[in-house]
Chains A and B, each alone.
Chain A
Amino acid sequence: AQSVTQLGSHVSVSEGALVLLRCNYSSSVPPYLFWYVQYPNQGLQLLLKYTTGATLVKGINGFEAEFKKSETSFHLTKPSAHMSDAAEYFCAVSVGSSNTGKLIFGQGTTLQVKP
């Protein structure tokens, strides 16, 4: 069965520092992977997705993620953190057939950005 594990429920970085949020997945079939961001009192917003093709995926707000099959990882990075990046981030894997398209989510990582 597919699953997602996000390492670290809280990550704190200084403004301007590298952001690295870790995600590992388990899947018996080639996975489709997603990163979402959630700002306080809002719904989830898609940051980026990996389906097939290029393993380095660029998303919105300067974020990118690299799919590494050998490591079953899909870590999210941003070279320089901004105060506005403070939010909760969720990694997700798509499961099921085209008739369902369900997403399984990780537990979430709260990113704190210090001035």
Chain B
Amino acid sequence: DAGITQSPRHKVTETGTPVTLRCHQTENHRYMYWYRQDPGHGLRLIHYSYGVKDTDKGEVSDGYSVSRSKTEDFLLTLESATSSQTSVYFCAIRTGTGVNSPLHFGNGTRLTVT
């Protein structure tokens, strides 16, 4: 267990509303990632962070923003949710220091946009 907590675990929201998902880690690792999982697409990277206030875009970043004001928390915000953002969102951390280090995943947040 890499000490990753995602909240909420489930959320239903309406189109056009803002939504924030939280990822919390207990071990002060530097690298954190947000992925979304959709059938037929596997997991796709939304944004990632390599330190406090250091973030960058992934392959599917449109419509999403992130913030990392503390090492332990990485927030994902949907500014105005759309039905295409209905998905399962996973936070991950990298516990090692090299690019060959695996990622460790949280249990996910299932988001439904109606």
Contacts and interface: CB of A to CB of B under 8 A. Distances in A.
Contacts of B103: 101, 103
B54 to A, nearest CB: 9
Interface stretch (B37-45, B64-72, B73-81): B37-45
B27 interface: no
Interface in A34-74: 34, 36, 41-46, 49, 51-52
Given A102-B33, A105-B44, A43 B100 contact: no
Interface residues of B, number: 29
B42 A106 contact: yes
B84 interface: no
A94 B42 CA distance: 15
Contacts of A94: 99-100
Given A102-B58, A108-B42, A97 B102 contact: no
Interface string B20-43: 000000000001010100001111
A97 B105 contact: no
Contacts of A4: 42
Nearest to A48: B102
- Best-buried of B94, B98, B100, B108 by chain A (most CB within 10 Å): B100
Contacts of B105: 36, 43-45
B30 to A, nearest CB: 9
Contact of A100 (B35, B43, B56, B100): B56
Interface of A: 4, 6, 9, 32, 34, 36, 41-46, 49, 51-52, 90, 92, 94, 96-108
Interface of B: 4, 31, 33, 35, 40-45, 48, 50, 56, 58, 90, 92, 94, 97-108
